[in-house]
Amino acid sequence: MTDRLLVIHGPNLNLLGIREPDIYGRTTLAELDRQITGHGAGRGFDVRCRQSNHEGVIIDELHQANGGSDAVIINPGGFTHSSIAIRDAIAAITPPVIEVHLSNISAREEFRRTSITAPVCAGMISGFGWAGYLLAIDAARRLLDGAA
Amino acid sequence: MTDRLLVIHGPNLNLLGIREPDIYGRTTLAELDRQITGHGAGRGFDVRCRQSNHEGVIIDELHQANGGSDAVIINPGGFTHSSIAIRDAIAAITPPVIEVHLSNISAREEFRRTSITAPVCAGMISGFGWAGYLLAIDAARRLLDGAA
Amino acid sequence: MTDRLLVIHGPNLNLLGIREPDIYGRTTLAELDRQITGHGAGRGFDVRCRQSNHEGVIIDELHQANGGSDAVIINPGGFTHSSIAIRDAIAAITPPVIEVHLSNISAREEFRRTSITAPVCAGMISGFGWAGYLLAIDAARRLLDGAA
Amino acid sequence: MTDRLLVIHGPNLNLLGIREPDIYGRTTLAELDRQITGHGAGRGFDVRCRQSNHEGVIIDELHQANGGSDAVIINPGGFTHSSIAIRDAIAAITPPVIEVHLSNISAREEFRRTSITAPVCAGMISGFGWAGYLLAIDAARRLLDGAA
Amino acid sequence: MTDRLLVIHGPNLNLLGIREPDIYGRTTLAELDRQITGHGAGRGFDVRCRQSNHEGVIIDELHQANGGSDAVIINPGGFTHSSIAIRDAIAAITPPVIEVHLSNISAREEFRRTSITAPVCAGMISGFGWAGYLLAIDAARRLLDGAA
Amino acid sequence: MTDRLLVIHGPNLNLLGIREPDIYGRTTLAELDRQITGHGAGRGFDVRCRQSNHEGVIIDELHQANGGSDAVIINPGGFTHSSIAIRDAIAAITPPVIEVHLSNISAREEFRRTSITAPVCAGMISGFGWAGYLLAIDAARRLLDGAA
Amino acid sequence: MTDRLLVIHGPNLNLLGIREPDIYGRTTLAELDRQITGHGAGRGFDVRCRQSNHEGVIIDELHQANGGSDAVIINPGGFTHSSIAIRDAIAAITPPVIEVHLSNISAREEFRRTSITAPVCAGMISGFGWAGYLLAIDAARRLLDGAA
Amino acid sequence: MTDRLLVIHGPNLNLLGIREPDIYGRTTLAELDRQITGHGAGRGFDVRCRQSNHEGVIIDELHQANGGSDAVIINPGGFTHSSIAIRDAIAAITPPVIEVHLSNISAREEFRRTSITAPVCAGMISGFGWAGYLLAIDAARRLLDGAA
Amino acid sequence: MTDRLLVIHGPNLNLLGIREPDIYGRTTLAELDRQITGHGAGRGFDVRCRQSNHEGVIIDELHQANGGSDAVIINPGGFTHSSIAIRDAIAAITPPVIEVHLSNISAREEFRRTSITAPVCAGMISGFGWAGYLLAIDAARRLLDGAA
Amino acid sequence: MTDRLLVIHGPNLNLLGIREPDIYGRTTLAELDRQITGHGAGRGFDVRCRQSNHEGVIIDELHQANGGSDAVIINPGGFTHSSIAIRDAIAAITPPVIEVHLSNISAREEFRRTSITAPVCAGMISGFGWAGYLLAIDAARRLLDGAA
Amino acid sequence: MTDRLLVIHGPNLNLLGIREPDIYGRTTLAELDRQITGHGAGRGFDVRCRQSNHEGVIIDELHQANGGSDAVIINPGGFTHSSIAIRDAIAAITPPVIEVHLSNISAREEFRRTSITAPVCAGMISGFGWAGYLLAIDAARRLLDGAA
Amino acid sequence: MTDRLLVIHGPNLNLLGIREPDIYGRTTLAELDRQITGHGAGRGFDVRCRQSNHEGVIIDELHQANGGSDAVIINPGGFTHSSIAIRDAIAAITPPVIEVHLSNISAREEFRRTSITAPVCAGMISGFGWAGYLLAIDAARRLLDGAA
L63–J82 CB contact, under 8 Å = no
Tens of pLDDT along G39-95? 999 999 999 999 999 999 999 999 999 999 999 999 999 999 999 999 999 999 999
Confidence band (pLDDT; 50, 70, 90) for F25? confident
CATH number of the domain bearing residue A28: 3.40.50.9100
Q: Which residues of J touch H142 (CB under 8 A)?
A: 128, 131
- Average pLDDT of chain K is 93
> Whose CA is closest to C70, among C120, C8, C3, C134?
C3
**Sorting pLDDT into bands at 50, 70 and 90, what band is G110?**
confident
Average pLDDT, chain B: 94
Q: Own/partner pairs for B38-41, CB < 8 Å, 24+ apart?
A: B39/B133, B39/B134, B39/B137, B40/B5, B40/B137, B41/B2
- CB contact H91 to G (< 8 Å): yes
Residue J110 and residue J119 in contact, taking contact as beta carbons nearer than 8 Å? no
What does the alpha-carbon distance between residue D7 and residue D11 come to, in Å, rounded to a whole number? 13
**Nearest CA to CA, how far is C125 from chain G (Å)?**
20
Chain C positions in Cβ-Cβ contact with residue H81 (cut-off 8 Å): 84
Q: Which of A68, A80, A74, A85 is nearest to A106 (CA)?
A: A80
Which of K99, K104, K128, K144 to substitute to test the interface with L, most L CBs within 10 Å?
K128
- Reported as a single tens digit per residue, the pLDDT across G117-133 is 999 999 999 999 999 99
Number of CB pairs < 8 Å for F and K?
Answer: 50
Per-residue pLDDT at I52: 94
Asked whether residue H8 carries a pLDDT value surpassing 90, the answer given is yes
G1 has a pLDDT exceeding 80: no
**First CA to last CA across chain H, in angstroms?**
21
CA-closest candidate to residue E115, choices E131, E103, E128: E103
Q: Which residue of E has its CA nearest to K62?
A: E12
Q: Is the pLDDT of residue E19 over 80?
A: no
- Whole-number pLDDT of residue E83: 94
Q: Is it the case that chain J and chain L have 3 or more CB pairs lying under 8 Å apart?
A: yes
Helix (H) or strand (E) holding L97: strand L97-101
Residues of chain B in contact with residue A53, where contact means CB-CB under 8 angstroms, are none
- Per-residue pLDDT of H91-139, as tens digits, reads 999 999 999 999 999 998 888 989 999 999 999 999 999 999 999 999 9
Q: In terms of DSSP bridges, do strands F123-126 and C3-9 run parallel, antiparallel, or are they unpaired?
A: unpaired
- How do K3-9 and K45-51 pair as beta strands? parallel
Q: Are L117 and L83 in contact (CB under 8 A)?
A: yes
- Tell me the mean pLDDT in the region J1-21: 89
With 70 as the cut, is the pLDDT of residue L148 above it?
no
Looking at residue A148, what is its pLDDT?
53
For A10-148, list the strands marked E by DSSP.
45-51, 71-75, 97-101, 123-126
| Domains in chain K, number | 1
Where are the alpha helices (H) located in chain I, listed in sequence order?
21-24, 29-42, 55-68, 84-92, 131-144
- Domain range for D105 is 3-145
K6 band by pLDDT with thresholds 50, 70 and 90: very high
Task: Identify the pLDDT of residue D5.
Answer: 98
Alpha carbon B71 to its chain centroid, in Å, reads 10
Q: Across the interface, which of G54, G56, G82 has its CB nearest the CB of H82?
A: G82
- Closest to I61 in 3D by CA, of I14, I99, I16, I93: I93
Chain J contact for H107 (CB, 8 A cutoff): yes
* Contact assignment for J114 to H113 by CB distance below 8 Å: yes
**Global confidence as pTM:** 0.93
Do A54 and B54 touch, CB atoms closer than 8 A? yes
CA distance H4 to L34: 69
CB J110 within 8 A of CB J79: no
For L67, other C-beta atoms within 10 Å of its C-beta total 10
Eight-class DSSP state of F2? P
Distance from CA of I23 to the nearest CA of L (A): 28
Cβ of residue D132 closer than 8 Å to a chain E Cβ? yes
Tens digit of each residue's pLDDT (9 = 90 or more) over B69-92:
999 999 999 999 999 999 999 999
Report the Cα–Cα distance between both ends of chain C, in Å, rounded.
Answer: 21
Catalytic residue among A24, A39, A54, A81: A24
- H or E segment and range at residue K135: helix K131-145
The larger pLDDT score, comparing residue G74 to residue G17, is at: G74
With contact defined as 3+ CB pairs under 8 Å, the chains touching L are I, J, K
Whether B133 is catalytic is no
Of H57, H63, H86, the CB nearest to G14: H63
Q: Can you tell me the distance from the alpha carbon of C75 to that of F84, in angstroms, rounded to the nearest whole number?
A: 45
| pLDDT above 90: residue B21 | no
Burial E22-53 (b: 16+ CB within 10 A, else e): eebbebebeebbeebbebbeebebebbbebbb
Phi, psi of B105 (to 5 degrees): -65, -20
Average per-residue pLDDT for chain F: 93
Residue H16: how many other CB atoms lie within 10 Å: 24
Which residue out of B9, B39, B101, B133 is catalytically annotated?
B101
Q: pLDDT value at position A80?
A: 97
The sign one gets for the Cα dihedral K7, K10, K15, K17 is: negative
Q: In what order do the strands lie in the sheet with K97-101?
A: K45-51, K3-9, K71-75, K97-101, K123-126, L123-126, L97-101, L71-75, L3-9, L45-51
Please list, in sequence order, all residues whose beta carbon lies within 8 angstroms of the beta carbon of residue G130, skipping any fewer than 6 positions away: F148, G25, G27, G32, G35, G102
Interface chains of chain E (3 or more CB pairs under 8 Å): D, F, K
Tell me what pLDDT residue J148 has: 53
The answer to whether the CB of C111 falls within 8 A of the CB of G115 is no
Confidence of residue E71 (pLDDT cuts 50, 70, 90): very high
Chain B interface mutation, best of C102, C106, C110, highest count of B Cβ atoms under 10 Å: C106
- Chain A positions touching B15 (Cβ under 8 A) are 63, 66, 92
The parts of chain A modelled with pLDDT lower than 70 are 1, 147-148
Catalytic residue (one of H9, H24, H39, H133): H24
Using pLDDT thresholds of 50, 70 and 90, give the confidence band for residue K147.
Answer: low
Residue of I nearest to J92 (CA): I19
Q: Do chains H and A touch (3 or more CB pairs under 8 A)?
A: no
Order of strands, sheet of D123-126, starting from the edge strand that comes earlier in the sequence: D45-51, D3-9, D71-75, D97-101, D123-126, E123-126, E97-101, E71-75, E3-9, E45-51
pLDDT in tens, I6-62: 999 999 999 898 777 777 788 899 999 999 999 999 999 999 999 999 999 999 999
Given a cut of 90, whether residue H147 has pLDDT beyond it is: no
Q: What is the pLDDT of residues H71-92, one digit of tens each?
A: 999 999 999 999 999 999 999 9
Task: Name the region of B77 (left: φ>0; alpha: ψ -120 to 50; beta: rest).
Answer: left
Task: Kindly tell me if the per-residue pLDDT of J71 is higher than 90.
Answer: yes
Alpha helices, H only, chain L: 21-24, 29-42, 55-68, 84-92, 131-145
Q: Which of the residues J9, J39, J101, J133 is marked catalytic? A: J101
How far separated are the first and last CA of chain J, in Å rounded? 21
- At C37-56, the pLDDT tens digits run 999 999 999 999 999 999 99
When pLDDT is cut at 50, 70 and 90, the band that residue E147 belongs to is: low
Q: Which of J9, J24, J39, J133 is catalytic?
A: J24
Give the C-alpha separation, E123 to D127, whole Å.
4
The pLDDT of residue B73 is 98
The CB density around residue E94, as the number of other CB atoms within 10 Å, is: 11
User: Chain K residue with minimal CA distance to F94?
Assistant: K19
K117 pLDDT more than 70: yes
Residue K139 and residue L131: Cβ atoms within 8 Å? yes
Q: Do residues I40 and I5 lie in contact, with contact meaning Cβ atoms separated by under 8 Å?
A: yes
Please tell me if residue H55 touches chain G, with a CB cutoff of 8 Å. yes
Question: What's the half-sphere exposure (Cβ side, CA atoms, 13 Å) at L106?
Answer: 26
Q: What separation, in Å, do the N-terminal and C-terminal C-alpha atoms of chain F show?
A: 21
| Mean predicted lDDT score pLDDT of chain G | 94
CB-based contact E56 F11, cutoff 8 Å: yes
- The least confident of A14-23, D54-63, E75-84, H62-71 is A14-23
Give contacts of E125 with chain D, Cβ < 8 Å: 123-125, 135
Terminal CA-CA length for chain E: 21
CA dihedral J77, J83, J86, J92 (to 10 degrees): 140
CA-nearest residue to B109 within chain A is A84
Q: Which of J104, J120, J139 sits opposite H124 (nearest CB)?
A: J104
- Between chains, do E12 and K56 touch, taking CB under 8 Å as contact? no
Q: Which of C53, C88, C115 is the best mutation test for H, with the most CBs of H within 10 A?
A: C88
Q: B-chain residues within 8 Å CB-CB of A59? A: 11-12, 53
Separation CA I68–CA J10 (nearest Å): 35
Asked whether residue G148 carries a pLDDT value surpassing 80, the answer given is no
Contact H79, H12 (CB under 8 A): no
pLDDT at F24 over 90: no
pLDDT digits (tens, 9 = 90+) for D63-108: 999 999 999 999 999 999 999 999 999 999 999 999 999 999 999 9
The answer, yes or no, to whether residue B18 has pLDDT greater than 90, is no
Distance, in Å, from the CA atom of H22 to the CA atom of C126, rounded to the nearest integer, reads 33
- Quote the CA–CA distance of D119 and D111 in Å, as a whole number: 17
Do A19 and D82 make contact, defined as CB atoms within 8 angstroms? no
Greatest pairwise CA separation for chain G in angstroms: 44
Handedness of CA B28, B30, B31, B33 (dihedral sign): positive
- Give A49 or F147, the one with higher predicted confidence: A49
Which residues in chain H have their CB less than 8 angstroms from residue J143's CB? 128
CA atoms within 13 A of residue I39's CA, in its CB half-sphere: 20
Contact E122 D104 (CB under 8 A): yes
Touching chains, J (3+ CB pairs < 8 A): H, I, L
- When CB atoms are compared, the residue of D82, D84, D92 closest to A15 is D92
Three-class SS of residue B88?
helix
- Which contiguous run of DSSP H or E holds residue C84? helix C84-92
Establish whether chain C is in contact with chain G, requiring a minimum of 3 CB pairs below 8 angstroms: yes
Using CA atoms, how far apart are residues J35 and J40, in angstroms rounded to an integer? Answer: 8
Active-site positions of E read 24, 101
**Residue D148: is its pLDDT beyond 70?**
no
The C-alpha of D35 sits at a distance from chain A's nearest C-alpha, in angstroms, of 31
Residue-level pLDDT at I138: 97
pLDDT in tens, C10-41: 999 999 988 777 777 788 999 999 999 999 99
Mean pLDDT value of segment D38-52: 98
Which H or E element spans position K75?
A: strand K71-75
Q: With 60 as the cut, is the pLDDT of residue E148 above it? A: no
- J19 pLDDT tier (thresholds 50, 70, 90): confident
Coil/strand/helix, residue D102: coil
The one-letter amino acid at F74? I
What burial class does residue L146 get, using C-beta atoms within 10 Å of its C-beta: 0-12 exposed, 13-18 middle, 19+ buried? Answer: exposed
Contact I12 J60 (CB under 8 A): no
Among the partner residues F126, F131, F142, nearest to G131 by beta-carbon distance: F142
DSSP characters over D36-94: HHHHHHHTTEEEEEEE-S-HHHHHHHHHHHHHHBSEEEEE-GGGGGT-HHHHHHHHHSS
Contact call for A and I: 3+ CB–CB distances under 8 Å: yes
From chain G, the residues in CB contact with F114 under 8 A are: 113
d(CA B42, CA L120): 75
Q: Within 10 A of L42 (CB to CB), how many other CB atoms are there? A: 11
